Amino acid sequence: MRLMQLIAICTTTLFLSGCASMQLGSPSASTAATGAAAGATSQGANPQLEHCARPLGTLAIHEDRGSDWYYTLTTDWHLGSTVPVLKLLAQQSNCFVVVERGRGMSDIMRERRLMRSGELRRGSNFHKGQLVAADYTLIPSITFSAKNTSGIKGLVGALFGHTAAAIAGGIKTSDASTVLTLIDNRSGVQIAAASGSARNIDFDLLGGIFHGGGVGLGAYTNTPEGKVIVAAFTDSMNKLIRALKHYRMQRVKGGLGTGGSLKVQGE
């Protein structure tokens, strides 16, 4: 019944605007990585984003651009790097101080080369020992993404008839599942990992009703696939932060890297 109520609302307003529903984690959750961050303050942040009273350390983000998921993201989904949105979420949460280790690093080092060459003004105050170390590295990955995963048209047609089925034919969904992994840079030990998921529901109502009639409103009503990726990473970030708030160090008898307790023959 809730679905049919959404369809009725969208049908009433379809001549005025598009209608879309974004789901994060649970069916009623609506998400987006929005707003801004400056130091420990943020503006317009998603109210669902987890927050820390104080930072847990400094953070660099590493995106494996040779992976299959990155190829799919940039080639099939026509989307760019996930790093900017993850930087925004990390800083808005106040759980980490973000340090640059990506493309901006070449600009940082360029300024230092200019200083050494003598081209910069006196008092520019660039010298060795100023860069802040990254305590942790955050590694993102997309484990699953699919378009048009809903089979709602047949269900609605069976229950409510041909007209409702035509409307439901314009409902398109996209699903995404993501993972964030947090690594301690000094030891190389994985500190935490968290999965996240999201579903984006688009209502392409006129396209469903007048399919084949030359209306061609799909581009107008479709929500960008990037929204579902952002929502899934927001879900992953929230779960990661919740886990870190209850973090307990793992202990191995004898110390880490000394052989462990799972022995094999010949050791």
* Residue 212, domain CATH: 3.30.160
Check pLDDT > 50 for residue 231.
yes
- Determine phi and psi for 40, rounding to 5 degrees: -90, 0
- Summarised one tens digit per residue, pLDDT across range 20-34 is 555 544 433 333 577
- Asked whether residue 41 is assigned to any structural domain, the reply reads no
pLDDT band at residue 108, thresholds of 50, 70 and 90? very high
- Asked whether residue 212 is assigned to any structural domain, the reply reads yes
> 122: Cβ–Cβ under 8 A, 6 or more apart, which residues?
none
- What's the predicted TM-score (pTM) here? 0.74
Check pLDDT > 70 for residue 171.
no
- Asked whether residue 191 is assigned to any structural domain, the reply reads yes
Nearest Cα neighbor of 2 from 18, 16, 21 is: 21
- Asked whether residue 141 is assigned to any structural domain, the reply reads yes
Other CB atoms closer than 10 Å to residue 88's CB: what's the count?
21
Average pLDDT over residues 167-189: 82
For the residues of 126-160, what is the DSSP string, one character each? --TT-SPP-SEEEEEEEEEEEES---HHHHHHHHH
**Dist. CA 153–CA 146, nearest whole Å:** 18
Average pLDDT over residues 63-74: 92
- Asked whether residue 62 is assigned to any structural domain, the reply reads yes
- Residue 36 is predicted with a pLDDT of 83
**Dist. CA 182–CA 191, nearest whole Å:** 5
For residue 94, what are the domain limits?
Answer: 51-99+134-221+236-245
Number of domains present in the structure of the chain:
1
**Higher-pLDDT residue of 202, 211:** 202
